[in-house]
Amino acid sequence: MALAINIRADNSSATEIERLWDQVAAFEVEPSMRALGYRPHFTFAIYDTPSISEKTAWDAMLTAVAGEAQLRIEFKQVRWFEGSPLVLWADPTSNGALTRIHSAISAAIDPVHCRPHYRPGTWTPHYARHAHRRRTAR
Half-sphere exposure of 23 (CA within 13 A, CB side): 7
Long-range contacts, stretch 36-39, CB < 8 angstroms, 24+ apart = 36/131, 36/133, 38/8, 38/134, 39/8, 39/9, 39/10, 39/14
The residue count of the chain comes to 138
pLDDT value for 137:
42
3-state secondary structure of 15: helix
Taking only the tens place, the pLDDT of each residue in 14-55 is 888 888 878 877 777 765 666 667 788 889 999 999 999 999
* Single pTM value for the model: 0.80
Taking only the tens place, the pLDDT of each residue in 79-136 is 877 776 666 778 888 888 999 999 999 999 999 999 999 999 999 888 754 443 333 4
Distance CA 76, CA 59 (A): 32
| Cα–Cα distances in angstroms (integers) from residue 130 to residues 35, 75, 76, 105, 113, in the given order | 11, 18, 19, 23, 23
